[in-house]
């Protein structure tokens, strides 16, 4: 970003006779990360952002926004008075987006949106100046922040969009006006708030509400809920997935512990490799490949880009226990779709010793929680996993469903307050040749067990 404060006034349609000639090179809303050249936005969070303006000034910001219902500051820094800070934040983002005028790719989905965003950005970077959402800044603050901090020479902007309520994606889409909209999948995330997968699908489709007329909608064609809703979309449509009815699908997948290789129907003689495990990540790559294809990136360049990928947020990681056992850790997020995917991935990997799994409650599933925890049962069998450790009230339902498959000594359940007992039992049981999966929602705090194991 690069503009004079005078241009900020103009973009926000504010008239003033006395505007300081200050150059703005970025925006921030976290005073701890403020730096010279920044325009500080005191956004309302758990605390009023105006409380942190002095801290932002101390850290060197060049100017600040100030909401008119607060006492007007003294003259120790240039400032812009607005009626509403959040509205000004979005208005300036829309202005700057139109000024730079990059091609915009918007990505959402119940799982895989951050990984897919990174894959798309990496592929498109082979021929373009690309900016992307940092980390998972994907809400009403993150999307404008992403836009306002893109360099002035950005040719493509890849924006991740999250959702936890109706209307949110419609709003985010109205800010970014994407040229390409991508939906990775429909899962059960936030089903406590939406009630059904149908309603989740309705909300995800909001990303297309402000898709450019000549834009393209790319989505998972294995999902009937999306296929049904896509019929109403007039823009171009492309699908990816496992079935050969899709425009792009994988023809040969070779799973590995830290990499996954695959070929596709469109480029049968080209083997792609991604530096992560899991067939589900192949679908994320297929979505990115479609974006690359319609952006005229050569297949060989896309192949090279995926092989060199560094993922912003790869929650699933391999670690070593103190005794040398392999740990597949995913202790910060879990839902039925993600749990099934990682279980299937672990099954497909060859290991020297036994495979053990530790599963904690999947939170925010609402009234459907019992059935959704039970839905993991078909994917857990003694032939694949030697011992099963379950934690949390709702994992009792899964225990009941798989109790006939295991001896009592091989199927253990713990309350959320029994993590110390779980850790001791794992330390006693784990052999150096074993592989153990740890997966749960963050509220279970399996990271404490992981810490002790390693």
The tens digit of pLDDT for each residue in 181-206 reads 999 999 876 666 777 889 999 999 99
**Closest Cα partner for 109 from 69, 136, 78, 134?**
136
What are the start and end residues of each CATH 3.90.190.20 domain in the chain? Answer: 317-453
pLDDT of residue 75: 67
Q: Regarding beta strands 216-220 and 236-241, do their DSSP bridges make them parallel or antiparallel, or are they unpaired?
A: parallel
pLDDT digits (tens, 9 = 90+) for 353-397: 999 999 999 998 888 899 999 999 999 999 999 999 999 999 999
pLDDT band, residue 313 (cuts 50/70/90):
low
Angstrom distance (rounded) from CA 110 to CA 336: 11
Question: Mean pLDDT over all residues of the chain?
Answer: 93
The CATH T-level fold of domain 317-453 is 3.90.190
For the domain covering 3-86, report its CATH number.
3.40.1390.10
The DSSP call for residue 434 is -
Cβ atoms of 358 and 438 within 8 Å: the answer is yes
Other beta carbons less than 10 A from residue 201's beta carbon: 19
| Cα–Cα nearest to 208, from 185, 228, 178 | 178
CA distance 106 to 220: 15
What is the DSSP track for 153-190?
T-SEEEEE---SSTTHHHHHHHHH--SEEEE-----TT
Give residue 247's pLDDT band: very low, low, confident or very high (50, 70, 90): very high
> What radius of gyration, in Å, describes the C-alpha atoms of the chain?
24
* Binding positions for ATP: 109-115
- pLDDT above 90: residue 303: yes
Q: Would you call 442 helix, strand, or coil by DSSP?
A: helix
Q: Show binding-site residues.
A: 109-115
CA distance 401 to 416: 20
Instruction: Please determine, for residue 17, whether its predicted confidence score (pLDDT) is greater than 90.
Output: no
Residue in this structure with the two tokens 């059904």, named with its chain if needed: 196
The predicted-structure confidence for 208-230, as pLDDT tens digits, reads as follows 999 999 999 999 999 999 999 99
Q: Please enumerate in sequence order all residues whose Cβ is within 8 A of that of 146, keeping only pairs 6 or more positions apart, or say none.
A: 131, 132, 133, 134, 137, 157, 159
In this structure, how many other beta carbons lie within 10 angstroms of the beta carbon of residue 54?
14
User: What SS3 class is residue 131?
Assistant: strand
Fold of 102-307: 3.40.1190
Q: Does the pLDDT of residue 314 top 80, yes or no?
A: no
Query: Is 40:34 a contact under the CB 8 Å cutoff?
Result: yes
Q: How many CA atoms lie within 13 A of 237 on its CB side?
A: 17
Of the listed ranges 18-22, 56-60, 222-226, 263-267, the one predicted with least confidence:
18-22
pTM of the model: 0.89
**Range 322-338 average pLDDT:** 91
CA atoms of 317 and 314, how far apart (whole Å): 7
């Amino acid at each position: 970003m690069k503009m004079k404060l005078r241009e900020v006034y103009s973009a926000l349609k504010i008239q003033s006779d006395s505007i300081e000639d200050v150059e703005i090179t970025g925006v921030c809303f976290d005073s701890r990360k403020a730096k010279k050249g920044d325009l500080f936005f005191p956004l309302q969070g758990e605390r009023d952002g105006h409380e942190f303006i002095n801290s932002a000034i101390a850290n060197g910001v060049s100017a600040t926004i100030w909401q008119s219902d607060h006492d007007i500051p003294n003259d120790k820094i240039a400032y812009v008075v607005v009626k509403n800070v959040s509205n000004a934040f979005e208005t300036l983002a829309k202005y700057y987006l139109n000024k730079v005028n990059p091609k915009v790719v918007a990505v959402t989905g119940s799982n895989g949106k951050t990984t897919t965003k990174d894959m798309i950005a990496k592929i498109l970077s082979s021929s373009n100046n690309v900016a992307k959402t940092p980390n998972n800044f994907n809400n009403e603050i993150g999307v404008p922040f992403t836009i306002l901090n893109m360099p002035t020479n950005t040719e493509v902007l890849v924006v991740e969009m999250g959702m936890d309520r109706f209307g949110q994606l419609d709003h985010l889409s109205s800010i970014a006006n994407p040229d390409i909209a991508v939906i990775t999948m429909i899962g059960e995330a936030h089903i406590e708030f939406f009630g059904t997968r149908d309603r989740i699908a309705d909300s995800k489709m909001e990303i297309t509400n402000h898709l450019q007329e000549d834009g393209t909608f790319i989505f998972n064609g294995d999902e009937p809920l999306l296929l049904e809703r896509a019929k109403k979309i007039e823009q171009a449509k492309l699908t990816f997935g496992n079935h050969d009815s899709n425009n792009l699908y994988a023809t040969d997948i070779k799973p590995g512990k830290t990499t996954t290789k695959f070929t596709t129907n469109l480029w049968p003689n080209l083997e792609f490799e991604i530096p992560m495990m899991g067939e589900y990540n192949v679908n994320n790559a297929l979505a990115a490949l479609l974006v690359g294809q319609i952006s005229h990136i050569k297949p060989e360049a896309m192949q090279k880009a995926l092989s060199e990928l560094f993922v912003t947020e790869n929650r699933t990681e391999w670690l070593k226990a103190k005794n040398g056992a392999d740990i597949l850790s995913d202790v910060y997020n879990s839902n039925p779709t993600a749990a099934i995917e990682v279980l299937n991935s672990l099954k497909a990997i060859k290991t020297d010793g036994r495979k053990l799994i530790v599963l904690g409650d999947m939170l925010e599933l609402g009234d459907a929680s019992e059935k959704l925890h039970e839905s993991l049962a078909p994917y857990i069998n003694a032939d694949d996993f030697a011992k099963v450790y379950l934690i949390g009230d709702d994992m009792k339902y899964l225990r009941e469903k798989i109790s006939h498959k295991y001896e009592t000594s091989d199927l253990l359940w713990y309350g959320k307050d029994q993590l110390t007992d779980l850790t001791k039992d794992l330390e006693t049981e784990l052999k150096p040749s074993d592989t153990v999966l740890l997966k749960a929602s963050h509220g279970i705090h399996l990271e404490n067990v992981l810490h002790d194991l390693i």
